[in-house]
């Protein structure tokens, strides 16, 4: 019997030496096509395990799980990057759109601490929109999932409870941290707290994302593996060699009165306590990115970022990736940046030790990097703030997180009020 066309082709490739088909890697088709999306990207998602990275109606949503990596330890970022590169070698990509975020994508959510589990997920179906372009990417031949649309109104009751420690106990930890700082042990530490809620019915992540997008359009609405939130802080973006980071540190609660809020913004911009906290955070980001960049630009003074519930001191850090590092990807930058002073403290090692000693909370993936990476290594990563984690075992249970930067001038009562303001986005989304 004569050789089949496929075996003849293999013989040509191998100069006549015998090979077996199983010796060659299986290539999976990845196809990106133009796709008209509705205004509400979340309406395209099923209720089970949706993925999201959306800001002001643009970004990426996804579902289905083609492949998944769970990793922990100090090398979790480099191990995730290596796994992603290995996966890319198995793809055969057909991209008719060729925008940032087209082709295969991996969504990631990394733990704050190296001892906890991080996750990287390659979805089967990815839908994106940027400007006047929108697209759909499929990996292999996924089953296009359909599901009941999410309800716009809450159809459950909520019971609220304390988290790992009471509000009074957390204020005691803040006072302890202030004493340590005033003794000269460190300059700043970030202390987090949590609260918990139980709903009478399973919580629909899609509804939470839609509510967050409605209330906080200037933030990145993310959802990865039951962690959902609206982060205002861009840890790092890498796009065609350009590096961008937005640092937020120093916060004041909005009053709801425009004239009063302008006065509050002015007081925030002049606050020595908040400017000190902000300076630590900016320096930690700039120092971490400097080895990767041939040039950098850091604004001399912060601006005030107005969000729906709070105002932050903000500074943009921009750079150009050094030519010698052109093969580096966003996960390399994420590894160098995490944890920043905005979520840990200064000096980093001392602050991290103090957090472990007095915080009394397992952060999990709260305050860790969250975002996505594409086949070129470009991507966007934020810090998982203003967020909550839905229990995998019981989707009626949810845990909300908030954290505050503590410096020598911090007052426990004021820090508690700030933490309550930072819990509002998720509380409002749940209760709305």
The gap between the terminal CA atoms of the chain, to the nearest Å, is 71
Examine the pLDDT at 13 and tell me if it is beyond 70: no
Residues 396 and 198 sit within 8 Å (Cβ to Cβ): yes
Q: Three-class SS of residue 328? A: coil
Tell me the average pLDDT across 94-120: 96
Mean pLDDT is lowest, of 21-35, 50-64, 78-92, 100-114, for 21-35
Q: Identify whether 392 is a catalytic site residue.
A: no
Whether 6 maps to a domain, the answer reads no
Say if 374 falls within a structural domain: yes
**Is 53 part of any domain?**
yes
Q: What is the pLDDT of residues 320-351, one digit of tens each?
A: 999 876 667 999 999 999 999 889 999 999 99
45, 216 Cβ separation under 8 angstroms: no
Residue 26 has pLDDT above 90, yes or no: no
Lowest average pLDDT, out of 213-217, 324-328, 416-420, goes to 324-328
Picking from 401, 352, 47, 422, the residue whose alpha carbon sits closest to that of residue 195 is 401
Split at pLDDT 50, 70, 90, the class of 280 is confident
CA distance 23 to 33: 31
332: part of which helix (H) or strand (E)?
helix 330-337
* Domain presence at residue 23: no
In 219-361, which ranges are E strands? Answer: 220-224, 227-231, 234-239, 242-253, 293-298, 303-306, 310-321, 345-346
201 labelled catalytic: no
> Across residues 394-420, what is the average pLDDT?
96
With respect to residue 2, please indicate whether it lies within any of the assigned structural domains: no
pLDDT, averaged across the chain: 91
Burial, 32: exposed, middle or buried (Cβ in 10 Å; 0-12, 13-18, 19+)?
buried
Residue 21 within any structural domain of the chain? no
pLDDT value of residue 25: 63
Q: pTM value?
A: 0.90
Q: Say yes or no to pLDDT of 215 above 50.
A: yes
Over residues 243-257, the pLDDT tens digits come to: 999 998 888 888 888
C-alpha dist (Å) from residue 88 to 59, 67, 333? 21, 11, 20
Burial of 220 (0-12, 13-18, 19+ CB in 10 A): buried
> What domain range is 81 assigned to?
29-148+156-431
Domain contains 104: yes
Among 124, 188, 211, 418, the one annotated catalytic: 188
Q: Active site residue: 233, 277, 359, 380, which one?
A: 233
CATH of residue 52: 3.60.120.10
User: What percentage of the chain carries pLDDT values higher than 70?
Assistant: 93
Which residues touch 291 (CB under 8 Å, ≥6 apart)? 336
59-68, 276-285, 319-328: the lowest-pLDDT one: 319-328
CA distance 87 to 365: 24
In a domain, 196, yes or no: yes
**Residue 105: closest CA among 166, 163, 49, 53:** 53
So what's the pLDDT on residue 35? 93
Q: Which of 140-149, 220-229, 291-300 has the lowest mean pLDDT?
A: 140-149
How many domains would you assign to the chain?
Answer: 1
């Amino acid at each position: 019997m004569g050789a089949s066309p496929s075996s003849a082709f293999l013989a040509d490739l191998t100069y006549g030496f015998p090979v077996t088909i199983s010796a060659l890697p299986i290539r999976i088709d990845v196809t990106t096509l133009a796709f008209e999306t509705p205004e509400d990207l979340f309406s395209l998602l099923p209720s089970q395990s949706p993925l999201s990275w959306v800001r002001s109606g643009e970004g990426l949503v996804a579902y289905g799980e083609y492949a998944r990596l769970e990793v922990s330890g100090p090398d979790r970022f480099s191990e995730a990057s290596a796994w992603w590169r290995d996966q890319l070698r198995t793809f055969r990509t057909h991209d008719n759109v060729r925008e940032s975020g087209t082709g295969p994508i991996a969504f990631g959510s990394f733990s704050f601490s190296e001892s906890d589990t991080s996750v990287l997920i390659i979805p089967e179906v990815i839908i994106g929109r940027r400007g006047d372009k929108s697209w759909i990417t499929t990996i292999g031949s996924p089953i296009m999932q359909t599901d009941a649309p999410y309800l716009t109104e809450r159809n459950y009751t909520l019971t609220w409870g304390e988290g790992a420690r009471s509000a009074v106990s957390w204020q005691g930890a803040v006072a302890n941290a202030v004493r340590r700082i005033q003794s000269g042990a460190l300059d700043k530490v970030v202390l987090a707290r949590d609260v918990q809620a139980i709903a009478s019915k399973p919580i629909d992540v899609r509804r939470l994302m839609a509510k967050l997008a409605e209330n906080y359009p200037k933030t990145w609405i993310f959802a990865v593996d039951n962690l959902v939130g609206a982060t205002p802080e861009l840890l790092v973006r890498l796009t065609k060699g350009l590096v961008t980071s937005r640092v937020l540190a120093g916060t004041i609660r909005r009053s709801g009165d425009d004239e009063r809020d302008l006065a509050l913004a002015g007081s925030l911009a002049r606050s020595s306590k908040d400017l000190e906290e902000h300076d630590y955070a900016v320096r930690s980001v700039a120092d971490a990115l400097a080895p990767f960049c041939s040039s950098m630009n850091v604004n001399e003074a912060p601006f005030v970022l107005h969000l729906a519930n709070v105002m932050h001191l903000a500074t943009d850090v921009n750079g150009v990736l050094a030519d010698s590092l052109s093969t580096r990807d966003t996960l390399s930058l994420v590894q160098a940046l995490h944890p920043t002073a905005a979520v840990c403290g200064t000096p980093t090692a001392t602050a991290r030790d103090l957090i472990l000693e007095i915080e009394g909370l397992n952060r999990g993936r709260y305050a860790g990097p969250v975002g996505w990476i594409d086949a070129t290594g470009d991507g966007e990563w934020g810090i998982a703030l203003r967020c909550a984690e839905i229990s995998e075992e019981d989707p009626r249970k949810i845990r909300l997180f908030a954290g505050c930067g503590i410096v020598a001038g911090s007052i426990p009562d004021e820090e508690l009020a700030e933490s309550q303001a930072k819990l509002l986005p998720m509380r409002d989304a749940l209760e709305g």
